[in-house]
Amino acid sequence: MIALLVGRQEEVWEDEEGEKLKRSSSFRRPRFWLRRRRSPWPPEGTRDRATPQEQPCSSVLLNLPSIHTDLGLSWMPQRGADLTEETQRTEHPVPHFNHYKFDSASNKNVVPDEAIGIVEDFPPVPMPDSLQHYTEAELKEIEKRLKRKADFTIMPIVGILYILNYIDRQNLAAAKLQGIMEDLNMSTTEFATAVSILFVGYLPFQIPSNLILSSITRPGAYICTATIIWGAISAATAAVTTYKSLLAVRVILGAVEAVFFPGVIYLLSSWYTKRELGKRFAGLYIAQQVGNAFGGLIAAGILKLDGVHGIRGWRWLFIIEGAATVGVGLFCVFFLPEYPYNARMLKPVERDLAVWRLEREAGASEANEDIGTLKGFLLGLQDPKLYVIIFMNMMSQVQGSIANFFPSIVNTLGYGHYETLLLTAPPYVLAGIVYFIITWYSDRTNNMYRVILTCICIACATYIIALSTLNTAARYTAMMLMPFSSVGPQLMLYKIINQHLPRPIAKRAGAVAMTNAIGGISNIWMSYLFIGAPHYYPAFGALFAAAMVFLVTITGYRFYVLRENKKLDEGGEVAQRAMRHGITQQQLQMGWRYEGL
């Protein structure tokens, strides 16, 4: 391996007679210099007869092939390989960059003029000292252990909180079946306004909330505190007596709930690598579907309390579900972990590995980024890919608006109120199963485009059935497929954000919040289109149109990033533009590309 030395350095070797050989070098650093580890092989001319001085395990990065591969360094020769000048020129994954070589005659590292000013993110992320004495097998075991701890601690907690989040957000749809419109003298349009006005508070507060989250050290406490507050506000909905007071409570509820979803997405991306996020996002969306499914079952049971102690059933619904959220939030505030570097549930070596593996994947140490929160956010605004992703998410959330009126859609089958709430459960159970399958597939193949394409095609078929027939079997079959096919693409979009807009961290946090916030605007105007039961022509027509626009946009975006990847292989202006948008030089040298499509 090429050894680029800093200052004066000595290497000691023994020849076959036991005589020690020394070589030293000194050179003047170029303007931007590359620091590499010392070569474990003897100098040129002694390779066949000399053996290197015993190296400590700190050279683990040179000795573990799988870690070489994970780091994107599989082009480097392993111990004992013969590194020729031709190898240096041809085996680097990004030929345009890093055309440096080691001049054995002068014992100096030569950095050509074209490399000066390009390399700016080196040195590479080093392995922490605490990990360097572990073998490859031991590191893998530690990694399994820390992922197991995260999976059994973070995922159950955020899953339960997301169930409560969706139950508290959607219980107004269940309350409609028990007379809230009559009690508050609301028209159909006013009820649609009460549903949609939650997003007036929900959408604008997501971006500042996530920017705050990226700058604090206790995200778990922050998220759980918001959970306690929104539970109390949800319970307070039981006390409303007028339409205007309901609107006020819904706006405040939306503002507080804005903390949760983008915050959890960002928290998960701080614990898991890109290839691990798919299944965890699936777990989150499965929890959402559990909330939708069992929310209807729970609501059916609670609404039977109608008249107990002189309290209407829909008021009991808000009281019980809101109180449950407060209690769970108080419990979880003590157990939801923080970031990996300060997580109390991890041992020191597990913390170091958890942080290092993410920094290694990102191509630079995120912990040492000097880009501020506002600057990172503004960097996201300069990236045109973010606007395309936001638009695609808006089209996806148009389809996701079905959840706000799903009980009303199922009610068109002609069954009673309780039967309708029970019939809403199976579609969401199926959606949870399908979410796991599609994320497993996308993680395994690293392809999100096929999943999105399949979901959109199925969704379009369900909309056509809903528009064209009143046959009970056909309509309920379509309803069984609607939840997963309409919401499934959103899982893939959040994976695309983490792969295509990875750093700096403030940019990624802002991108997640902006995508969810601006995309959620569609929930406001879609609320007014669910009219004209049982066919709901305006709503399903808009859903079909949004699906087709989404399909065209994601296909165009796919061709765009594939073309960008080809240009990245050649270097030049596209690579410079990628670096201006936050991708590091080191990531490009390690083979970073726009993946997943």
Strand order from edge to edge, sheet including 20-25: 20-25, 9-14, 51-52
Between these two residues, 87 and 323, which has the higher pLDDT value?
A: 323
Distance between CA atoms of 382 and 325, rounded to whole angstroms?
Answer: 39
HEC profile of 395-433:
HHHHHHCHHHHHHHHHHCCCCCHHHHHHHCHHHHHHHHH
Which parts of 7-114 are beta strand (E)?
9-14, 20-25, 51-52, 101-103, 108-110
CB 451 within 8 A of CB 278: no
pLDDT at 406: 85
In percent, how much of the chain has pLDDT > 90? 23
Give the list of residues 6+ apart from residue 137 with CB closer than 8 angstroms, or none.
Answer: none
Domain ranges of the chain: 9-119, 136-363+372-589
DSSP annotation of 335: T
Angstrom distance (rounded) from CA 411 to CA 407:
6
pLDDT at residue number 251: 93
Per-residue pLDDT of 48-61, as tens digits, reads 333 334 344 433 33
Residue 449's Cβ-count burial label (10 Å; 0-12, 13-18, 19+) is middle
Q: What totals of helices (H) and strands (E) does the chain contain, helices first? A: 26, 5
**Looking at per-residue confidence, does 394 or 121 come out higher?**
394
Average pLDDT in the 314-321 region?
92
Does 107 score more than 80 pLDDT? no
**CA dist list (Å): 474 to 237, 293, 326, 419:** 37, 21, 41, 18
The residues pairing with 101 across neighbouring beta strands, listed in sequence order, are 110
User: Which CATH architecture group holds 136-363+372-589?
Assistant: Up-down Bundle (1.20)
Q: Which has the minimum average pLDDT: 101-110, 405-414, 417-426?
A: 101-110
Calculate mean pLDDT across residues 437-465: 90
pLDDT of residue 428: 86
State how far Cα 36 lies from the chain centre: 32
What Rg do the C-alpha atoms of the chain give, in angstroms?
A: 28
Chain-centroid distance of CA 323 in Å reads: 30
Q: At residue 104, does pLDDT exceed 90?
A: no
| Range of lowest pLDDT (101-110, 256-265, 324-333) | 101-110
**CA pair distance 435, 42, nearest whole angstrom:** 54
Mean pLDDT of the chain, nearest integer:
74
- Which residue type sits at 101? K
Question: Tell me: the pLDDT tens digits for 281-299?
Answer: 878 878 877 877 777 778 8
Tokens of 286: 């499965």
Place of tokens 């485009």: 449
pLDDT tens digit sequence for 550-595 = 999 999 999 988 887 777 766 666 566 655 555 555 555 555 667 7
Which of 21, 33, 5, 23 lies closest to 108 in space, CA to CA? Answer: 5
Encoding tokens for residue 339?
């970031």
CB 287 within 8 Å of CB 163: yes
What per-residue confidence (pLDDT) applies to 367? Answer: 47
Could you report the per-residue pLDDT of 454-502, keeping only the tens digit for each? 999 999 999 999 999 989 999 999 999 998 898 888 888 888 877 777 5
Helix (H, G, I), strand (E, B) or coil at 92: coil
Q: Check residue 306 and give its pLDDT.
A: 85
Alpha carbon distance 223, 336 (integer Å)? 9
| 180, two tokens | 């809230």
Q: Distance between CA atoms of 323 and 279, rounded to whole angstroms?
A: 31
pLDDT at 580: 53
